[in-house]
Chain A
Amino acid sequence: MIRLERLRKAYPEFDMELDLAVEAGELVSVLGPSGSGKTTTLRLIAGFESIDAGRIVINGEDVTRLPPAGRHIGYVFQDYTLFPHMSVAQNVGYGLRIRRVEPARMRRRVDELLELMDLPGYGRRRVDTLSGGERQRVAIARALAVDPVLLLLDEPFSSIDEVLRRDLRREIVRLQRELGITVLFVTHSRQEALSISDRVAVLRQGRLVQYASPVELYRRPADEFVAGFVGEMSVVPHEGRTLILRPEQVSLSPVGPGAGEVLAESSVEATVQSRQFLGFAWLYELDSALGSLLAYDSRRYEPGAELIAVWSAGSELPNE
């Protein structure tokens, strides 16, 4: 549905080189540390910046040479970028006004969108009287008004507080399911990416490192960078290979009578170095013969306690 083919763009910090395909109706997150080229990817797709080589194809149409206005894309900026001199309704209806939609139809459509975004009756409000979450929803409504084939969201929740962010995340998923629209979503938050996406594209230094479903990304990371970026982990040598262990895959038990029987292949003696209370459990950092280990456990151990660490599964890193 949307294909980036051998996209190239040179920047002072790095060279962008990207192949990416998103299916119709998919919600794809672009995840990566700051400066990895996430926002740049969106800006290239939207046409705000031109590419050096490659093709951008949307719904079978090559849009590489088209200006932003010709690409039928909705774009939501990181800090909303609502027009400060227009009311909420004028902002939402802006794209329709450009398309000379007749006023009565435009009003109906704007009301409909405000209803959809859970902002009924907000039309006459001034933009600067809105809260961050409200602005964000207006910005999304403005982008949706022109029925874009693709919605690009650039870190849309980065300036919104934690609780509201969760609601808005759900909102995006609901919208995307309801409207069946294709969404490309930039974030630097792994929780955000893992929780709402159909697939996640992990970028690093302008390159695609892994493109997979959240579960696969978490369980079968392509390399140590991806593994570390999408969750807590320890790296353990095992039979000549490298294992990635998530903290929940490691369980702890005290050393005592009968402990020797537990000492199987996938276990090691470990000493508690430090701990963090996370609410649902403690996160322990342990020292062992295999190196440093991370584990969750709901029981409380003191630093210095000697324990047995046992792991159940673990994912193997491909040897490079």
Chain B
Amino acid sequence: MSRSLLYAGVVAYFALFFLVPIGGVYVEAMRGVPAAAVLDRARGVLTAPRTMRVVGFTTGQAALSAAIAVAAAMPLAYMVSHYSFPGKRLAYSLSLVPFVLPSIIVVVCMISFYGKSGLLNSILGTDFNLVYNFRGIVLAHVFYNFSLAIRIISTAWRSIDRRFAEAAESLGERPLGLFLRVTLPLLAPAIVSAFVLIFIYCFLSFGIILVFGGVRFSTLEVAIYQETYVNLDLIAAAVYSTLQLVLSVGFLALASRAIVAARVSRSGGERGLPPLATASTAGRIFMTAYAVVAIAFVLGPVLTMFARALTNANGAFSLEGFRQLLIPGAADRNVEGILRSSIPGVIWRSVAIAVSSGTLIFLLAAALALSLRGRSRPGFESFLQMPIAMSFVTVSLGLRFVWGATVPPAVLVVLGQFFIGFPLVFRILRTGVDELGDGLVRSAEILGASRWAVLRDVEVPLLRRTLLNGYAYALALPFADLTVVLAAGRGRIATFPVAIYRLIGFRSFDLALALAVIYVLICLGLFLVIDATSMHAQEPRRDSA
């Protein structure tokens, strides 16, 4: 049957390009070393002070970043879920900008805004440094994930049935008690989800730590990379990647328990929201001020990056960076030498790899989502979500060990990037397909439509937005990827994120700024598609009400 063939194919893909490579790292680490020596060395790594430091830092910064992001998001989540105000849609869309940026661009943004010679210092006339240190790492992570927290919490807040509050009020409840005794407990699953998701993102953080961590701070993911490529200690890399897997799976398992335990049935009507003007004066002033600060927090670094890319050291308008990048022979340094590629090469390679990876991700995710409609396969689906908890450095490394001799690096990158985008895209499509339900498809089948006719006449037209949304994410995630390209590409593949990373490393921040702006402009189109479709996908359809 074609369905079992599809499942078998997906399992085979995961086995060949995910599980076998992870095993390959261990095999490679132990090759030519007696087992006793391996164990001895592994024990040595596990008990080394550095390991404790890395684990402590990885966990601590992730917990702190997630806690700050969630706490800071609460007032805005309230505002977004309870009031309408002019420009709300635009603000809501713009808030997503950092989240879709690659980590390396976030780095560029943070340096432009918070760096020693950044905008904030020159405005305030101060000399603090909020990058390249612990505070900088947490700040960048909060900047990165803040809008995700707003989205998750505000969606849940809006879906809480207004009548719970009315029931409480009719029993004599006052606003503070209502928040503490009713709203907060009902909101807890969303708060926990947001915290855990952001925690995991920060726990596995790579690009930001690679640049900001220096020699003092590394997450397990960065430590794996350093052991492999700098210290050439594969046993240490294997130990770290085992630690990372155990810890992240552990956190996810703990969290999913907490979320399931707290899950409640909330049937909330999607109603029109009252305008912000109906809030109390104090509330209105607080929310407006808070929103303005938040918008500055989110957009400030991005806009500063643009401004600095378009000005010279004296603050005058200048396209010097773009000139040096784009016009052959115009650069005052060897750009191609730094990038190990030409600029047009970077552009077309980035696009080609993203389109290949994105299409592969999309097709498999769509086929699986459609064939799983109405079925529950929790085991299989957890298996498909496995990459979320895995070190992409380890997977990429393993891909090189196992397949490097037979498969060209660019193909390896595509095979590896699949796991970056697949879990999210699959979930988006699965949710959309399940919401469509079974009835329409069954009706078409009873009327004699073939599988293809159902797909063409029912599923694709009705799921157009979901499919578009899924494809946009399928393209965006590989496009932003730094880890797999660096680790599986053997340094031979230079895409946008790699090129920007190299420019920062070679003290060419001016050129990094220009290249980042070009990247963001290319992304902007993609991002508009994602957001336009995802906003609409959330609106209830009138005919289904």
Contact = CB atoms under 8 A, between A and B. Distances in A.
Given A81-B161, A83-B164, A84-B264, A74 B170 contact: yes
Interface in B149-183: 161, 163-164, 166-174, 177, 181-182
Contact of B169 (A69, A85, A142, A145): A69
Interface residues of B, number: 23
Contact of A146 (B161, B172, B185, B267): B172
A142 B168 CA distance: 10
Nearest to B184: A85
Nearest to A75: B170
Contacts of B169: 47-48, 67-69
Contacts of B163: 77, 81
Interface string B231-246: 0000000000000000
A46 B177 contact: no
A183 B182 CA distance: 27
Nearest to A74: B170
Given A81-B161, A84-B186, A84-B264, A46 B166 contact: yes
B259 to A, nearest CB: 14
Nearest to A154: B163
Interface string A65-98: 0011111011101010101110000000011011
Contacts of B262: 85
Nearest to A85: B185
B266 interface: yes
B167, B182, B267 — most chain A CB neighbours (10 Å): B167
B171 A146 contact: yes
A128 B173 contact: no
A99 B262 CA distance: 27
Contacts of B265: 84, 128
B271 to A, nearest CB: 13
Given A77-B163, A98-B177, A85 B264 contact: yes
A285 B358 CA distance: 68
Contacts, number: 69
Contacts of B182: 83
Contacts of B186: 83-85
Contact of A81 (B167, B174, B185): B167
A240 B417 CA distance: 87
Contact of B170 (A46, A85, A99): A46
Interface of B is mostly: helix
Contacts of A143: 170-171
B185 A98 contact: no
Contact of B164 (A74, A81, A142): A81
Interface in A145-177: 145-146
A44 to B, nearest CB: 13
Contacts of A94: 168, 171, 181
A73 B167 contact: no
A74 B164 CA distance: 14
Contacts of A85: 185-186, 188, 262, 264
Contacts of B185: 83, 85
Contacts of B266: 84
Given A84-B186, A84-B264, A128-B265, A68 B161 contact: no
A212 to B, nearest CB: 29
Contacts of A47: 169
B164 A69 contact: no
Contacts of A79: 267
Contacts of A75: 166-167, 170
A69 B166 contact: no
A69, A73, A95 — most chain B CB neighbours (10 Å): A69
25 contacts: A46-B166, A47-B169, A48-B166, A67-B169, A68-B169, A69-B169, A69-B173, A69-B174, A74-B170, A75-B167, A75-B170, A77-B163, A81-B163, A81-B164, A83-B164, A84-B186, A84-B264, A84-B265, A94-B168, A95-B171, A98-B171, A98-B174, A98-B177, A128-B264, A146-B172
Interface of B: 161, 163-164, 166-174, 177, 181-182, 185-186, 188, 262, 264-267
Interface of A: 46-48, 67-71, 73-75, 77, 79, 81, 83-85, 94-95, 97-99, 128, 142-143, 145-146
Given A81-B167, A85-B185, 17 more contacts: A46-B170, A67-B169, A68-B166, A68-B170, A69-B169, A69-B171, A73-B170, A74-B170, A77-B166, A81-B166, A84-B186, A94-B171, A98-B177, A128-B264, A143-B170, A146-B171, A146-B172
